Structure 1
Amino acid sequence: MSLKLVKTLWGVLEAGDTAKWDALFARIKAEGFEAVEAITLTWRMDSQLFLSLLRKHGLSLVCQIHTTGGSINEETGEYEYCTSNKLNDHVVSFVSLATEAAALKPVLINSHSGHDSWGSGDKAVDFLEKALETEAILGIPIVHETHRQRLFFSPYSAAELLANKKLEKLKINADLSHWCCVCEHLFDHTDPRDDFWLGTLQAVAAHCGFVHCRVGHAEGPQVPEPDAPEWAKEVDTHFEWWRFIWSAMCKRGDSVIWSEPEFGPPPYLQTLPYTQAP
């Protein structure tokens, strides 16, 4: 088993300037990363240059896609992350974005999939069945992130979906920091209120194909400073969860485990009022 680290390009200023990619990828490789994770806006800037420079520096690619998102709104200039709650819109978007991403030959595709309003009902299952069909056609592993506003936003609906026999081949990206924020709680299987948690974590591990390693807390998806002693409990708890998942992936025979240390920019990163300084 080999644990390989992925560097997110989220919040990396040089990622928005093609002239800086060469030096950026050289630095990322020197820091010990084996791959980068990029959204559509990044690779669309110049996909041929992007891929050639990744090859030059020995870096693999993880493509991140956002169903019904992925572009800049021409009127507002803002990034469009999720623009619909309609099933068909998300299915069409997923197939298109996944097909585009697969052409880049990534090691995997990380999808922010569907809409949280679907819960674990028929819409969610229908979408994920179509996603599995698309994954089989494309031949690239696709994971679905446990992200807010998306299908796997909550541990409760996620557990129901992962228990569905129709979805036994489904793979997820475990970013458990989101669940701490959604449920306003740091889960602990020894707490009687959390008697569901061990079973949920086992289901996550059984379906996990990627891990986003960010530390969340009861009031947000990212602690302000992971090294600060006041966040030691959150850090230790998240590491316990990650080790549990990694161990399960190792036991089932995964030869490579992709994991991504993540600490996001504003508004995930706290800033001062008025100045917006970190």
Structure 2
Amino acid sequence: MKRRDFIGTTLGAGIGVGLAASPLLASKRKQTNTPDMKIKILATNWGDGDTIEDFCKKIKSYGYDGLEVWYPTDAGDRERLVNATKANGLAYGFLVGAYQPDFQPHFELFETNLRAATKMKPLYINCHSGKDFFSYEQNKQFIDLTIKVSKESGVGIHHETHRSRIMYSAPVARNFIEKNPDLTLTLDISHWCNVHETLLQDQKETVDMALQRTRHIHLRVGHPESPQVNDPRAPEWNEALDQHLAWWDKVIELRKNAGANTMTFLTEFGPADYMPTIPYTRQPVANQWDINRYMLELIRDRYTS
């Protein structure tokens, strides 16, 4: 087969396995009644080129409850976000983080944006906090700060289990969990699958600790060689998808038992090059939006049917 024909065939197959893949969707349904706990599913604008106004209209039409975006540091962007979400009846959560390799400027920028973000009363704040190479004492300052600001503002502030950040690995996160009883997490466990090159079967106790602290979930499916499978609808990823669903089911159970009134999710399959691509063309092997909408419907059906 010529390369051009191969690319066309592959892309067509990837895009064609869309929302109509009902047998798989049906097989993943779990009648988990959550009448006393609202399930809110948010969209990412990662990889999307629309204006905030068009993006909000689009995700509203798809059935999302809101969006998760980086906290807008520009006043005009903040106003547009508020207006667009209000016009479409959407909630918003914020990402807050910093990237400086030196601790002090990193921490100062993080604190500035964190405190500013709480003033907009988002649904939650997800932290891309610290660095994997900062010391325990340095990274603990981020945790102490977020716990304090959360109590002052009433906004839930959670640290993401994300590569290169404080919670980049399961044993490191466990150390923070054990020593910081008020620490709460955004669970993106796909990163840990990649970091540890397993589906974490050998770290069950540590994973259970993380599930107990989870307050927000990123819906991406990882595997031992990557934080993102190319398409969770493909049968070769059934084991990985089922394992992630089991983790998410446990969080739902824990939060229900704790009397939580809301659980938030973000569909976060990423674009090229986070999504694998075809060599020479950089065309993604599957459609990011189709997959995120599949995850939206999967979770909605699983926990609210």
Q: Is the 8 A contact 1:91 1:130 kept in 2?
A: no
For 1:96-146, what per-residue CA distance to the aligned partner results, in whole angstroms no more than 9, with x for missing partners?
Answer: 111221222211111100011136x22222331122222223331111100
Gap change, CA 1:42 and 1:25, over 3 Å in 2: farther
Q: How does 1:260-271 map to 2 (within 5 A)?
A: 260-271=266-277
Q: Over aligned residue pairs, what C-alpha RMSD do you find?
A: 1.7
1:85 Cα offset (Å) = 4.1
SS of residue in 2 equivalent to 1:118: coil
Gap change, CA 1:44 and 1:266, over 3 Å in 2: farther
Q: How does 1:75-154 map to 2 (within 5 A)?
A: 82-86=99-103, 88-118=104-134, 121-154=136-169
Residue of 73, 87, 100 corresponding to 1:56: 87
Higher helix share: 2
Question: C-alpha separation between the residues in 1 aligned to 2:141 and 2:70?
Answer: 25
The equivalent residue for 2:183 is 170
The count of corresponding residues between Structure 1 and Structure 2 is 248
In structure 2, runs of 5+ residues without a counterpart are 1-36, 285-305
Question: C-alpha separation between the residues in 1 aligned to 2:72 and 2:81?
Answer: 12
TM-score (norm 2): 0.77
In structure 1, runs of 5+ residues without a counterpart are 68-81, 189-193
Residue of 218, 224, 230 corresponding to 1:218: 224
**Match for 2:146: what amino acid?**
A
The equivalent residue for 1:77 is none
Q: Is the 8 A contact 1:85 1:117 kept in 2?
A: no
Q: How does 1:177-196 map to 2 (within 5 A)?
A: 177-188=190-201, 194=202, 196=203
SS of residue in 2 equivalent to 1:163: helix
**Match for 2:167: what amino acid?**
F
Is structure 2 residue 38 aligned with structure 1 residue 2? yes
Question: C-alpha separation between the residues in 2 aligned to 1:33 and 1:114?
Answer: 30
Question: C-alpha separation between the residues in 1 aligned to 2:107 and 2:152?
Answer: 15
Question: C-alpha separation between the residues in 1 aligned to 2:72 and 2:145?
Answer: 25
1:41 Cα offset (Å) = 5.2
Larger radius of gyration: 2
Question: C-alpha separation between the residues in 1 aligned to 2:121 and 2:141?
Answer: 26
TM-score (norm 1): 0.84
Question: C-alpha separation between the residues in 2 aligned to 1:226 and 1:274?
Answer: 24
Residue of 186, 197, 207 corresponding to 1:201: 207
The equivalent residue for 2:70 is 39
Q: Is the 8 A contact 2:45 2:55 kept in 1?
A: no
SS of residue in 2 equivalent to 1:149: coil
The equivalent residue for 1:79 is none
1:90 Cα offset (Å) = 3.0
Question: C-alpha separation between the residues in 2 aligned to 1:5 and 1:27?
Answer: 14
Question: C-alpha separation between the residues in 2 aligned to 1:117 and 1:266?
Answer: 27
SS of residue in 2 equivalent to 1:117: coil
Q: Is the 8 A contact 1:152 1:158 kept in 2?
A: yes
Gap change, CA 1:42 and 1:10, over 3 Å in 2: farther
The equivalent residue for 1:72 is none
Residue of 259, 263, 266 corresponding to 1:257: 263
Residue of 140, 143, 158 corresponding to 2:173: 158
Question: C-alpha separation between the residues in 1 aligned to 2:119 and 2:268?
Answer: 26
